[in-house]
Amino acid sequence: MWFLPLGRGEAVEAIKRAYGVAQEYAKKIGGRVETLQPRHIYGEKAEDFGYTLQVGRIGVTLQPASVIVLWGFYNADEYLDFVRFIHDGRTYEWFVHPIAYYPERVGVWAEEPYIFRGSLLIDVHATGGEQRDRVYGWPLGYFVAPLQPPQEVKPPRGRRGPRGRERGQGESRRGGEERS
């Protein structure tokens, strides 16, 4: 069985395991753990979609040192066929159609949680005759981000010319010169 209904004891253990993984990453980077939200997937377009998935391909670019840890899926759309997560050239497929029939509509991944960093592609496929731009499903997991963004690396300063001043600059102001 790929997915476990939320009501099963093994599902609770899988969620705890995923949270433990997220906490370990947060300790490594000095970060925080949040539940996965639309702003983590869509960025500035988060308000357009909310907790729904755009049908087709979604490109996700994570901040440096950020991590997504997925443990399950919410599916309230009987036409949501499957979701593919593509990371570093590897495809992870989640067939989420039966989750819509669980009473809680949540399926927990029975294996270890998926861990994504850097960039990620999400392919969403729906069946049905009507043209749709979104499905009512959402990946469940944790987003781990550093508390402060990584420090920007500054290039070294230019070489100094004669008498300690930078090349191309005028004479330094010394002595009794006034500033204008």
Using one digit for the tens of pLDDT, what is the confidence trace for 45-56? Answer: 999 999 999 999
Amino acid code (one letter) for 44: E
pLDDT of residue 137: 95
Q: Kindly list the domain boundaries of the chain, sorted by start residue.
A: 3-146
Q: Which of 148, 136, 142 is nearest to 29 (CA)?
A: 148
User: What is the average per-residue pLDDT within 28-33?
Assistant: 94
Nearest Cα to Cα of residue 70 among 60, 80, 79, 57:
60
Query: pTM above the 0.85 mark?
Result: no
CB atoms within 10 A of CB 23: 15
The model's pLDDT over 142-161, given as tens digits with 9 standing for 90+, comes to 999 998 765 666 777 766 65
88-103 pLDDT tens trace: 999 998 889 889 888 9
What pLDDT score was predicted for residue 163? Answer: 58
**180 has a pLDDT exceeding 80:** no
d(CA 51, CA 39): 10
What is the C-alpha to C-alpha distance for residues 156 and 165, in angstroms, rounded to an integer? 16
Q: Rg of the Cα trace of the chain? A: 24
